[in-house]
């Protein structure tokens, strides 16, 4: 079994069907994206929070570090409506913590979030190989323009109905985000708490009912997880938490240290940091705002309100007020370079699947279609 060959590896010219998840909030860096792409996986650049000019710069930073394919990730959902009452209430709730860190009680008015269509224009102008989208689905006209530009589109689903909507919209791949996953829940139909299907159940469910190739995300921490997801019918695995402790990750050292400590800090779902439900390590802010989550403004307003507090906490190495996004598998994080991890996981998965960890061969058809991949890696043409 030449295990790495899937529609995903063929379409994007990857050696291994391993995607590094986009990670906003600090951990995702151009260095991490490029390291994974150079190692033969698909690195992802988290772009949802970047204004178009910054997004263009970040893409250029990745390109300066790799000539391999990579993905840019954007958020398709609409930002929450400005609600002065909720903003006021959140300011009140955050005031004691700001005082504790010596910050003034006044909070800056939230800036306008980046415009999705402007960000998309940058992605198309830059001709990035892949676009992954979370929190919804762009309208079909938009999506067709992206696909006509030759950009592979990955949508994200947390349950079957979302996967069906994504398939109908014409995405090329669906990332199935299981309940174990670190970071925001990608749910865009219904409440995130209703979409808490574990990866083990979600992947075969989606492969049974939708025709689009499925990428498994959530709780995949090593080659065993990658092999298991292939056995369940996934075309690849998208891994976030497993890369958090890498030297290329921008996660704060105190955050990295907590991941594998296995102490009483466990992951939980919280809206405290951004107004959107996501999986984090429990800390003081998460626990103390738990009872008030329903009063908080939505995404990304709450994020703007907590950013300064999180930064001040990070400056002091204080994890109490940092957003410690992490999946349930966090105890298995390894503080090793991303390229080493990708190679190790590929070998482990190949052993388990009875194949070889040799890099994926590039078919003559792909070599003709994507000469840049063949040029970069002539050894891998069949």
Ligand X SMILES: Cc1cc2nc3c(=O)[nH]c(=O)nc-3n(C[C@H](O)[C@H](O)[C@H](O)COP(=O)(O)O)c2cc1C
Q: What residues make contact with ligand X under the rule CB under 6 A?
A: 21-25, 27, 46, 48, 73, 134, 156, 177, 180-183, 217-220, 238-242, 325-327, 329
Which of 120, 361 has the CB closer to ligand X? Answer: 120
Do 232 and 253 meet the contact criterion of CB atoms below 8 Å apart? Answer: no
Nearer CB in complex with ligand X: 2/194 = 194
Q: Which two tokens stand for residue 295?
A: 């009063």
From residue 361, give the alpha-carbon distance in Å to each of 115, 273, 293, 371: 39, 43, 50, 14
Asked whether the beta carbons of 270 and 249 are under 8 A apart, the reply is: no
Alpha carbons 275 and 297: distance in angstroms, whole number: 6
The nearer residue to ligand X, 244 or 362, going by C-beta atoms, is 244
Nearest approach, Cβ of 376 to ligand X (angstroms)?
A: 26
Which residue has the closest beta carbon to ligand X? Answer: 240
**Measured distance CA(133)–CA(128) in Å, rounded:** 14
Which two tokens mark 53? 């000019």
Closest approach of ligand X to the CB of residue 175, in Å: 7
**Cα 158 to chain centroid, rounded:** 13
Q: How far is the CB of 137 from ligand X (least distance, A)?
A: 13
Nearest distance from residue 371's CB to ligand X, in Å?
Answer: 30
Task: Check if the beta carbon of residue 279 is closer than 8 Å to that of residue 187.
Answer: no
Nearest distance from C-beta of residue 380 to ligand X, angstroms: 27
Question: What is the distance between the alpha carbons of residues 239 and 249, in angstroms, rounded to a whole number?
Answer: 13
- Which CB atom, from 240 or from 298, has the smaller least distance to ligand X? 240
Structure tokens at 25: 């909030």
Smallest gap from Cβ 332 to ligand X, in A, equals: 10
Minimum separation from the CB atom of position 360 to ligand X (A): 22
* Segment 139-144 long-range contacts (CB within 8 Å, at least 24 positions apart): 139/169, 140/169, 140/170, 142/117, 143/169, 143/170, 143/171, 144/170
Given the complex with ligand X, which of 173 and 325 has the nearer CB atom? Answer: 325
Nearer to ligand X, 201 or 381 (CB): 201
Least distance in Å: CB of 323 to ligand X?
8
CA dist list (Å): 45 to 16, 121, 222, 240, 359 = 18, 16, 21, 12, 23
The CA distance from 65 to 68, in Å, is: 9
Cβ nearer to ligand X, comparing 24 with 37:
24
Comparison of 76 and 142: residue with beta carbon closer to ligand X: 76
């Amino acid at each position: 079994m030449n295990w790495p060959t899937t529609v995903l590896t063929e379409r994007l010219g990857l050696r291994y069907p391993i995607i590094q998840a986009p990670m906003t909030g600090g951990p995702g860096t151009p260095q991490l994206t490029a390291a994974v792409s150079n190692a033969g996986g698909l690195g992802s650049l988290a772009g949802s929070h970047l204004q178009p000019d910054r997004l263009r710069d970040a893409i250029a930073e990745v390109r300066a570090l790799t000539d391999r394919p990579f993905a840019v990730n954007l958020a398709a959902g609409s930002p929450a409506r400005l609600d002065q009452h909720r903003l006021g209430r959140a300011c009140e709730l955050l005031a004691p913590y700001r005082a504790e860190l010596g910050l003034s009680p006044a909070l800056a008015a939230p800036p306008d979030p980046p415009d999705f269509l402007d960000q998309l224009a940058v992605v198309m102008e830059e001709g990035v190989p892949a676009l992954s989208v979370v929190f919804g689905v762009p309208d079909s006209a938009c999506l067709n323009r992206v696909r006509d530009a030759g950009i592979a589109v990955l949508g994200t689903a947390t349950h079957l109905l979302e996967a069906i909507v994504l398939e109908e919209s014409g995405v090329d791949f669906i990332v199935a985000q299981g309940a174990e996953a670190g970071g925001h829940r990608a749910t865009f139909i219904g409440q995130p708490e209703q979409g808490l299907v574990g990866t083990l159940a979600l992947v075969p469910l989606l492969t049974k009912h939708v025709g689009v190739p499925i990428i498994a995300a959530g709780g995949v921490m090593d080659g065993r997880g990658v092999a298991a997801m292939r056995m369940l019918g996934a075309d690849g695995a998208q891994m976030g938490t497993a890369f958090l402790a890498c030297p290329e990750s921008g996660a704060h050292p105190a955050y990295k240290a907590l991941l594998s400590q296995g102490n009483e800090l466990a992951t939980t779902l919280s809206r405290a940091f951004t107004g959107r439900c996501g999986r984090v390590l429990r800390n003081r802010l998460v626990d103390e705002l738990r009872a008030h989550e329903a009063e908080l403004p939505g995404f990304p307003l709450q994020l703007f309100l907590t950013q300064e507090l999180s930064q001040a906490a990070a400056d002091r190495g204080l994890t109490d007020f940092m957003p410690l996004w992490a999946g349930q598998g966090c105890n298995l994080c390894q503080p090793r370079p991303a390229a080493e991890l990708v190679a190790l996981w590929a070998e482990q998965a190949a052993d388990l699947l009875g194949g070889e960890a040799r890099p994926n061969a590039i078919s003559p058809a792909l070599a003709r279609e994507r000469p840049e991949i063949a040029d970069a890696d002539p050894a891998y043409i069949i």
